[in-house]
Structure 1
Amino acid sequence: MQPLPRGHVRLEDAFGGARRVEVEIAATAGTRARGMMWRKELAEGKGMLFLFPHEEVQGFWMRNTLIPLDMIFITSDLRVAGIVSRAVPRSLESRSVGVPSQYVLEVPGGWTEKLGIRKGSTVRFEGVAGLDIEP
């Protein structure tokens, strides 16, 4: 399997600061489906950014995902639409925030709460422009 493209996501926190996450970027149907499956750890400051071709209600499951994750759903205008915190590993339950988003950032479980990332926070991508997003 080829390594995924890499970039950074910068999120505004509740205290007026910004948190930068180094991300692997999943922009194809295959890489989005595989996601974080089979990984045994995800270090602080790391994550995976899922790019979708259109803004719509996204749903994620944790099948074959071995670690708890926070899922940050991001709108096409780069605001946090909502967060699923500490998604339980190996669950087939679909996780969603019920509102349209075009991007989803997965980070270690509990990270968003600890660092004050909230619904409405602004987001900036670095090294993502120009990547082809496949349906």
Structure 2
Amino acid sequence: MLMLPRALRIALFALLALVAAGASVSMAGAKLEPLTFQTSAGPRVVQVELADTPERRQIGLMYRRTLAPDHGMLFDFGAPQPVAMWMKNTYLSLDMVFVTEKGLVHRIERGAEPLSEAIIDAGAPVRFVVELAAGEADRLGLKPGDRVSQRLIDAAARR
């Protein structure tokens, strides 16, 4: 059996407890930015956390136990590409909004099943994915073709 120094064991236990509780990945303290969906009923604004690095995209909303209405996560893949997501280690049911580089909603996956390893495919190359709590896409009135505006999306659309 490997014996670790007491201080290291305590620190490791504390870290594991934080991860298990989801505290290390909560949205508390995360920098949020506005994102606007231009729907047929008018603009709908949500606050998103950015997943714009490989590490942030890999973790996404995993381990989170709550997600406030009008909040979510924006995944930026850097360039249009085939995108497939899954719900492994994700405790919340989510709506996934697949967005083109030009800032248009391509497809919406509603109510993705928590903890599922089923692949959720964009169906075409996209650059962005917006994850929202399940039911938010319907509440906001989102549909394919709606325009999405946010600083990263707007910059990509101008190219």
TM-score range relative to shorter protein = 0.7 to 0.9
TM-score normalised to the size of structure 1? Answer: 0.88
1:125 aligns with 2:150: yes
Runs of 4+ in 1 over 6 A off after TM superposition: none
Distance in 2, Cα, partners of 1:20 & 1:119: 17
CA shift, 1:4, in A, is: 4.9
Q: Is the 8 A contact 1:4 1:26 kept in 2?
A: no
CA shift, 1:12, in A, is: 1.4
- Residue 14 (structure 1) aligned to one of 40, 49, 52: 40
Structure having the larger proportion of residues in strand? 1
Structure having the larger proportion of residues in helix? 2
1:4–1:27 distance in 2 versus 1, CA, 3 Å: farther
Alignment of 1:81-120 (within 5 A): 81-120=106-145
Q: Is the 8 A contact 1:74 1:101 kept in 2?
A: yes
Distance in 1, Cα, partners of 2:63 & 2:84: 19
CA shift, 1:83, in A, is: 0.5
Distance in 2, Cα, partners of 1:84 & 1:105: 10
CA offset digits 1:74-118 (Å, max 9, x no partner) = 000000011110000000111113111100000010111122100
Higher-Rg member (1/2): 2
Identity score, percent: 32
Matched residue count: 128
